[in-house]
Chain A
Amino acid sequence: MNSQTAALEIQNPTGTGRPRLEVRRVTRTWASMSPGGRTDVVLQDVSLSVGAGEFVAVLGPSGCGKSTLLNVIAGLQVPDSGEVLLDGDPHAQRIGRVAHMHQRDLLLPWRTVIENARLGLELGGIPVAEADRRAREVADRFGLSKVADSYPWKLSGGMRQRVALLRATLPDRSVLLLDEPFGALDAITRADLQKWLAEVLNRSNRAVVLVTHDIEEALILADRVYVMAGPSGRIVDEVSVALPRPRPEGIATSELFVAQKRRLLAALAGQEGMER
């Protein structure tokens, strides 16, 4: 009995206990820029939850409100209504406690790779020498040890995204938000980095939220996918990804993968999913 529940918990971390991150009925509007002066709804009644160690993707077209959702979760923007809970606490201070990686790498051009990577530790009050040592320790796993002392403007887009991820993940945070981290890269580099990201984040206990407009990216990386529809961002479907982990080579052409892809495509096209 006991071993059974334990096994269940490993397979489905959200199954029991409080979710690490929970978004409850969040609505966010902007003052409209079009004449008439009403408001544009960007997020409407968005709810989702992510357990510790779980990787969730939010899939939706451009402009449906994905970045806004992450900014609300990170505490950069205040929702009009609804709440965001960290470990069940709706009043938890989120800014500075949630790791957030933007679509743009936002590397500081006057800092080397390592100096950029250690920024979060430095801002957290860790002495520079100590921050530097810790960044260098992990740089190898990120494939960055050879360029550790180069300036970011000399690196390729893929390398820059690695630095940005290293910077986001070095401080110890229980939630990691990824805003289309590979959206600006070419398809080959993107596929490489997806595989690499899955390895890097594997066995970490973080709750990860990835927003993307790329169906395959969502399926390759996530345990669960929320489908979001625009223009007033709503969650229209939720799909558990029934694929083995770690995802084997060539999974993207397997029958199971294609079936799930079809399901997500249908949801994106506006047809309600079967589970809802």
Chain B
Amino acid sequence: MRASETFTPQLPSNVAYQRAKTLAADWLPPTALAATAIGAWEAAVRVLSVPAWLLPPPSSVLAVTWNSFGLLMGHAGTTLLEIILGFTLATVCGVSLAAGIASSRLLERSIYPFVIASQTVPVITIAPLLLVWVGPEITSKVIVVAIISFFPITVNLVDGLRASDREMVDMFRTLGATKRQVFLKLQTPSALPYLFSGLKVAAVVSVIGAVIGEWVGAQGGLGWLMRVSAPQLQTARVFAAILVLSVLAMLLFMAVAGAEKWALRNYPRSNTSRR
């Protein structure tokens, strides 16, 4: 009894120490790097007295972010809506395409080349056309986001669906499985980690897609805000918009990573991320 009393208090503090240590290992390097870079930027701008319209110091970017927070959030909402709709569209199309390509030789031969070709045309050249075709509303932006982000989803998922172990397929066949059962109970679950790799890339590039779409022509959104702020020499506001965009991209990535962690919670560790 007494022995356990003297022993237990050390255990939780030890666990807490370990946890703090991993937390520090995760957050310290990027925080230190960011702090150094921002500090150097602030110092350089002040020492060399760079004009604010050319390169504003971080402190004034923060000040603008703070002062125009409502404005920035309003435009961020527009951009986020485009991203979510476009990303959803890309996921639906990307998954269906991959399922078709992986299960039919004919579809693979006929469609896959065009899937790849679609990425050789820069979206910046498609975006103005879309604007002409569907108008300046949100639709053209949603389509640009979908075009740019379905690709990593499709390519990764096709690889994943094809990666099933030959012997596993044989095992399923000796158990009497149909092709459909092999697809649903073997290929699909083994492709899940690949799908999430694709979704993570798609989440990040979808932000780029939305900005390109808005840059070319829009009625709102962070890309549009940057576009109209630059000629007015409101450079600090451009940086503020970039800051909000990066936070948005990071949050999207973390949302997908969280969904991945949940969906793959029963998979062996080597298949999922570190923890």
Contact check, A99 vs B174: say whether CB atoms are below 8 A apart: yes
Contact check, A96 vs B167: say whether CB atoms are below 8 A apart: no
Number of A-B contacts (CB under 8 A): 57
Residue of B nearest to A177 (CB): B174
Known: A95-B173, A96-B173, A153-B268. A123 touches B167 (CB 8 A): no
Cα A75 to Cα B181 with chains together (Å): 18
Contact check, A100 vs B174: say whether CB atoms are below 8 A apart: yes
Q: What's the nearest-Cβ distance from chain B to residue A30, in Å?
A: 15
Contact check, B268 vs A102: say whether CB atoms are below 8 A apart: no
Residues of chain B lying within 8 A (CB to CB) of residue A119: 175, 185
Q: What's the nearest-Cβ distance from chain B to residue A124, in Å?
A: 6
Cα A95 to Cα B165 with chains together (Å): 18
Complex interface: stretch among A80-88, A104-112, A230-238: A104-112
Residues of chain A lying within 8 A (CB to CB) of residue B171: 100, 102, 106
Residues of chain B lying within 8 A (CB to CB) of residue A79: none
User: A151 interface residue, CB < 8 Å from B?
Assistant: yes
Which of A75, A99, A110 has the most chain B CB within a 10 Å cutoff? A110
Contact check, A95 vs B176: say whether CB atoms are below 8 A apart: yes
Cα A76 to Cα B174 with chains together (Å): 8
Interface string of B142-175 (1 = CB under 8 A from A): 0000000000000000000000010110111111
Q: What's the nearest-Cβ distance from chain A to residue B174, in Å?
A: 4
Contact check, B176 vs A124: say whether CB atoms are below 8 A apart: yes
Residues of chain B lying within 8 A (CB to CB) of residue A74: 174
Residues of chain A lying within 8 A (CB to CB) of residue B192: 110
Q: Which of the residues A76, A104, A122, A167 comes within 8 Å of B173, measured between beta carbons?
A: A76
Contact check, B267 vs A96: say whether CB atoms are below 8 A apart: no
Q: How many residues of B contact A (CB 8 A)?
A: 20
Q: What's the nearest-Cβ distance from chain B to residue A78, in Å?
A: 13
Residues of chain A lying within 8 A (CB to CB) of residue B167: 102, 104, 106
User: A171 interface residue, CB < 8 Å from B?
Assistant: yes
Cα A74 to Cα B189 with chains together (Å): 26
Known: A106-B168, A110-B189, A123-B181. A171 touches B268 (CB 8 A): no
Q: Which of the residues B175, B176, B185, B268 comes within 8 Å of A109, measured between beta carbons?
A: B268
Residues of chain A lying within 8 A (CB to CB) of residue B185: 119, 122-123
Cα A119 to Cα B181 with chains together (Å): 11
User: A60 interface residue, CB < 8 Å from B?
Assistant: no
User: B18 interface residue, CB < 8 Å from A?
Assistant: no
Contact check, A123 vs B175: say whether CB atoms are below 8 A apart: yes
Interface string of B258-275 (1 = CB under 8 A from A): 000000001110010000
Q: What's the nearest-Cβ distance from chain B to residue A49, in Å?
A: 21
Cα A124 to Cα B176 with chains together (Å): 7
Q: Which of the residues A71, A100, A151, A167 comes within 8 Å of B266, measured between beta carbons?
A: A151
Interface string of B196-228 (1 = CB under 8 A from A): 000000000000000000000000000000000
User: A163 interface residue, CB < 8 Å from B?
Assistant: no
Cα A100 to Cα B186 with chains together (Å): 18
Q: Which of A104-155 contact B (CB under 8 A)?
A: 104, 106, 108-110, 112, 119-120, 122-124, 151, 153
Which residues of chain B have a CB within 8 Å of any CB of chain A? Answer: 165, 167-168, 170-177, 181, 185-186, 189, 192, 266-268, 271
Which residues of chain A have a CB within 8 Å of any CB of chain B? Answer: 71, 74-76, 95-100, 102, 104, 106, 108-110, 112, 119-120, 122-124, 151, 153, 167, 171
Query: Which 8 A-B pairs give the minimum distances between C-beta atoms?
Result: A96-B176, A153-B268, A120-B175, A100-B174, A123-B177, A106-B171, A109-B268, A123-B175
Given contacts A102-B167, A123-B175, A151-B266, 9 further A-B contacts (CB under 8 A): A106-B167, A106-B168, A106-B171, A108-B168, A108-B186, A110-B267, A120-B175, A123-B172, A171-B175
